[in-house]
Structure 1
Amino acid sequence: MAFQDLLDRVGGQGRFQILQVVFFCIVNLIVYPHVLLENFTAVVPGHRCWVRILDNRTDPANSTGVLSQEALLRISIPLDANLRPDKCHRFPRLQWQLLHLNGTFPNTSEVDTEPCVDGWVYDQSSFPSTIVTEWDLVCESQSLKSMTKFLFMFGMLVGSIVFGYLSDRLGRTLILKWCFLQLAITDTCAALAPTFLIYCTLRFLAGFATKTILINSIMLIKILLDFLLSVGGLAFAIQDWHTLQLVFSVPLFVIFLFSRWLVESARCLIITNKPEKGLKALRKVALLNGKKNVGDTLTMEVNRKEKHPTNQTVPFYHQPLAACLIIVMVGICRTRSKRHDVYVFLWFHRFAIYMSFYGLILHLQHFGSNVYLFQVLFGLITFPANYIGVLALSHMGRRISQTIFLSFLGISILTITFLPEGKKGTLRLALSTLGVGVCTAALMCNSIHGNELIPTVIRYKSHGILGIAANLGAALAPVLIILTVSSPHLPWIVYGVFSILAGLVVQLLPETRNQPLPDSIQDLEKE
């Protein structure tokens, strides 16, 4: 009896399947926001140096009340290039002469200044507590904030390889349950971390488990990025970073408890020579679907025809060393062939899109102070963006659609970057929302185009290559923000230029609209 017949007997679309879909919907709604949490837990509020005359209530000059706060600030803090109080420096001595300039802006470039040796004072009106205020991740330490995002994304990269390999060896359900527990423990403890180093370590381990959960979840649900809405809404209601972290972490313990009823893929168990466990899983499905009598008829004899051929290979992304080696080989291979070009172009394309996408959604504060509004708008735009992407694929083809979307993305990012300081309100909001929309459409188009280009016989291996490219791009996105120390525009120029390059590179790939899909490597070479 074929496996499909077995599945029909235990119920192919019964109560068990419905519960499983609902369960993974809830899982995604809880897990995906962990990728975006630091848009809110790591916000940089307004800040300045702590100075005695302003912030020590016992100081004689402060307690008299003769001078206003504005006057005290003027003689204590120098002005930056935008004629605003400097965030990272102060005068070592009070500059009383600045009080007699009658509203003119003094030239303080020749006056001695010093770093904020006594710490900072933060504006707590919008964000009472963030990891930035907790550990003073500003000025000379501002790059450490980007490192927290990088470590989480790098954890996702390493975790997808390691846990993917272990899933094949120990079973997907067991590893998935472990990832639920690991994510629950690490991100709950992150909310209580006593030091920044411990926090970073815990976030790395959280990322280690996150990618595996999202990979094992239903792929059609992942594409609906309405999780952005839930993150923005909850973050607006809960502005303390410890509480927000706990709100998204503690429910994972409940998810872990409910995961006990998850069943390992029966087909996977049978084709990997574990028929007894496969039949046991099918009996559990039959019981949950209300087919109690069917379970007794499922014996070893009914699945003999489902024995899997011995030449079946393990999916590529479950072979980490082989993955890295083949990527290098493809990159340096001197023997030119069409399939090598397709791999290289697809790899770069996936890398560039994910780098730009995560560069946008992980750095909301770059676009404006109202990060809650940006998060909600970014979530709303994904619905029409996916629909427009489908229409573009159907009417314009795979290559031209992606070129248009990625060109719009690059132009949007570069335009935002070089907008004059006085025109960064509504226009920046519109352009950033457009950028996320076209990037979402490009991601969907890229996924479909990639699947159509890859021959069936090497699809698992190719998905592994592209998965590593995507994870590398996502991990690099927060690291590039460190370049703002040299130039505030440099990371965004990189995001914009790489987006445009990806749009040009896709023209070098074969068009697959209304074309027969390749089943073998020879089919790809003939195209």
Structure 2
Amino acid sequence: MHFDELLGILGEFGPYQKYVYILVCLPSIIVAFHMVNSVFLLGIPKHRCKLPNYPNDTYLTQGPAHDDLVRAYIPTELDVDNELVYKECFIFSVPLSGNATTGTEQQCSAWVYDKTVYENTFASELNLICDKQIWVSNAKMVYFAGVFVGALLLGVLSDKIGRKKTMILSVLGLLASSLAVSWAADFYLFCVLRFVVGFSSAGLFMSTFVHGMEMVGPSKRLWAGIVIHYFIALGMVLQCLVGYLIREWKYNAIIVSAPAALMLSYWWLFPESPRWLINRGNLEDAKVIIRKMAIRNKVEITEKQLDSLECDETATGQLWHLFTSRVLFVRTLVIFVNWCVVSMVYYGLSLNSGNLAGDFYLNFFLTGLVEFPAYTLCLVLLDRTGRKKLLCACMVLGGLACICTIFTVLYVEKRHQMYTTVILAMLGKIGAAAAYAVIYVWSAELYPTVVRNVGMGASSSCARIGGIVSPYIFDLSTIVDGRFEQALPFVVFGVSSVLAGLLSLILPETLGANLPETIEDGKNFPHHKKSTKYLEKEPSFTCNNEAFTAEDSTKL
């Protein structure tokens, strides 16, 4: 008897699995904290140069005398709306007096920051502005690089030592590194610690996500795989609340790090995955957990049924098998492109909500809130409209919403821009969030069984690349002038999303089809016959017959 057959007796999603699933979902809130916390740790407030020999210097003006003094020292320029603004990085070497223009501009070395949004950030504390502003994007990139490495290494570790141990090790690493960030004294130490935070976050979410998928029956995996992302959205909303109440970056970092300590209790509350134990040959420990599951689910299980449990021996393939035919080659590249673009747009819109017009905290709150209807849309429509139509619609409509920001910036009055631009950006975020859920399910169904794990792992790597690139897309606004600078990043996101969505039409629909098992099935899909053989030359056997395992990618 295989474990999925046993779940038919125990219940595919009984009370015991619901208990475990709740425990599985809670760490996602903590992961979401660190996923978007760079918005508050590395935010760049409005700023101008400090005035020499001027006491009680503040960003806000203090009457006409103060205004005149500021204008005497700091060069001004007209923005695209012909409003006079201070240059943020330059000061006159000699203050101007009256109509004199003898002062020359030079870059200043000390700044005054607006404390309307942040009391203090790591970026303002180290003056990562002007010619050092790229350092902020580098620091954001380092986090996603940590996620990339963590997904690869901790995925292997999870298969070796188990989901539970990997989760606890990830919690310890996350707790130590995220708390240490609060005491980071220089940029390079900050980046090292944020890399570890990303590394540990990948292990925490991945191990719990996979555990939850392995505890439920086949008919519940789609539901379980999407609902957990509601907790990611909840984490973003709660992070907004913390950021609004705690505006000092060090205290903010401590507040969002401390809850990870509660996850250490999972050593006693959280069972190991019985499916993993069975596949590792540890039947006795698996039987203990299964008996508890039977008691909680109020079903009877006999010792004969327990003794009949066996490991599935399934052939596994290599990544290069996906490139052995033109059909598989094209499909694999299309899947990779969609993963990369979806991740780039999702994180780009999430981490740069502060660049939108209007209230900073309201915009950030909305970026988390709109994910709830996005995932609900997937639950309602995924098995009704099919994967292809839903993914293409989400990518194209979300991309068009982002592209349309160029028209609001260029042609809509400034007083109305904050509403139209934010609405369009939120529609783009809904499309990206929904597409993320769909592409995960669809690509897992498109890859043949023998290469599903390695295919999903490669797709995850492409998603991480999209996250790494996303901070630099918004830096494109610094290379153009005028109104277009605000819209350029959204246009890049939008065009990429539309092209990737249209490209997905090349892929076949999987709804209601027998999923491919062999490479030959994959070549002929969806017109293949259900196969009972694997590759002509079978690679080494492994004890894993799951569509979702520790090497599967997850959204961080």
TM above 0.5, one fold?
yes
Which residue, 428, 441, 446 being the options, matches 2:421? Answer: 428
Quote the residue 1:105 is aligned against. Answer: none
The one-letter code sitting in structure 1 at the alignment partner of 2:236 is L
- Cα drift, residue 172 of structure 1: 1.9
Quote the residue 2:50 is aligned against. Answer: 50
Instruction: Say whether residues 1:173 and 2:164 are aligned partners.
Output: yes
* Distance change (3 Å), C-alpha of 1:483 and 1:55: farther
- Cα drift, residue 128 of structure 1: 0.7
Q: 1:235-278 deviations in whole A, cap 9, x for unaligned?
A: 21222211111111111112123333322222222222233443
Which residue, 248, 256, 264 being the options, matches 1:248? Answer: 256
The one-letter code sitting in structure 2 at the alignment partner of 1:46 is K
Structure 2: stretches of 5+ with no match in the other structure? 213-224, 527-556
Q: Aligned equivalents of 1:183 and 1:515: distance in 2?
A: 41
Assess if the C-alpha contact under 8 Å between 1:39 and 1:371 holds in 2: no
Q: Aligned equivalents of 1:67 and 1:452: distance in 2?
A: 67
Assess if the C-alpha contact under 8 Å between 2:226 and 2:437 holds in 1: no
Quote the residue 2:107 is aligned against. Answer: 115
Quote the residue 1:308 is aligned against. Answer: 312
Q: Please state whether the residue corresponding to 1:425 is helix, strand or coil.
A: helix
- Cα drift, residue 202 of structure 1: 0.6
Q: 1:98-119 deviations in whole A, cap 9, x for unaligned?
A: 4x9xxxxxxx7x95201112x1
Q: Aligned equivalents of 1:270 and 1:200: distance in 2?
A: 40
* Distance change (3 Å), C-alpha of 1:523 and 1:3: closer
Deviates most, 435-444 or 354-363 = 435-444
Deviates most, 354-363 or 260-269 = 260-269
Q: Aligned equivalents of 1:507 and 1:8: distance in 2?
A: 36
Instruction: Say whether residues 1:229 and 2:237 are aligned partners.
Output: yes
Quote the residue 1:104 is aligned against. Answer: none
Deviates most, 202-211 or 486-495 = 486-495
Q: Aligned equivalents of 1:312 and 1:400: distance in 2?
A: 32
Identity in percent: 26
Q: 1:325-379 deviations in whole A, cap 9, x for unaligned?
A: x4xx86xx5x642122111111111111111111110111121352211122222
Quote the residue 1:89 is aligned against. Answer: 90
Assess if the C-alpha contact under 8 Å between 2:157 and 2:166 holds in 1: yes
Q: Aligned equivalents of 1:497 and 1:424: distance in 2?
A: 21
Q: Aligned equivalents of 2:309 and 2:228: distance in 1?
A: 34
* Distance change (3 Å), C-alpha of 1:356 and 1:12: closer
Quote the residue 1:453 is aligned against. Answer: 446
Aligned pairs, number? 492
Quote the residue 1:28 is aligned against. Answer: 28
- Cα drift, residue 403 of structure 1: 2.8
Which residue, 65, 71, 77 being the options, matches 2:74? Answer: 77
* Distance change (3 Å), C-alpha of 1:385 and 1:6: closer
Assess if the C-alpha contact under 8 Å between 2:40 and 2:243 holds in 1: yes
Assess if the C-alpha contact under 8 Å between 1:28 and 1:214 holds in 2: yes
- Cα drift, residue 230 of structure 1: 1.3
Structure 1: stretches of 5+ with no match in the other structure? 101-107, 317-321
Quote the residue 1:344 is aligned against. Answer: 333
Instruction: Say whether residues 1:476 and 2:469 are aligned partners.
Output: yes
Quote the residue 1:159 is aligned against. Answer: 150
Quote the residue 1:190 is aligned against. Answer: 181
Q: Aligned equivalents of 2:287 and 2:56: distance in 1?
A: 73
Assess if the C-alpha contact under 8 Å between 1:390 and 1:445 holds in 2: no
Assess if the C-alpha contact under 8 Å between 2:119 and 2:248 holds in 1: yes
Q: Please state whether the residue corresponding to 1:374 is helix, strand or coil.
A: helix
* Distance change (3 Å), C-alpha of 1:5 and 1:483: closer
The one-letter code sitting in structure 2 at the alignment partner of 1:91 is F
Q: Aligned equivalents of 1:186 and 1:391: distance in 2?
A: 39
Quote the residue 1:203 is aligned against. Answer: 194
Q: Aligned equivalents of 1:67 and 1:516: distance in 2?
A: 76
The one-letter code sitting in structure 2 at the alignment partner of 1:71 is D
Which residue, 258, 277, 294 being the options, matches 2:266? Answer: 258
Q: 1:467-526 deviations in whole A, cap 9, x for unaligned?
A: 111111112212333444433465444322211210221121123345444343333322
The one-letter code sitting in structure 1 at the alignment partner of 2:433 is T
Q: Aligned equivalents of 2:441 and 2:8: distance in 1?
A: 29
Deviates most, 373-382 or 194-203 = 373-382
Q: 1:51-85 deviations in whole A, cap 9, x for unaligned?
A: 2144467xxxx9xx997111111111101341300
* Distance change (3 Å), C-alpha of 1:55 and 1:196: farther
Assess if the C-alpha contact under 8 Å between 1:189 and 1:202 holds in 2: yes
Q: Please state whether the residue corresponding to 1:128 is helix, strand or coil.
A: coil
* Distance change (3 Å), C-alpha of 1:71 and 1:245: same
TM-score, length-scaled by structure 2: 0.80
What is the RMSD computed on CA atoms of the aligned residues? 3.2
- Cα drift, residue 199 of structure 1: 1.3
Q: Please state whether the residue corresponding to 1:338 is helix, strand or coil.
A: helix
* Distance change (3 Å), C-alpha of 1:199 and 1:173: same
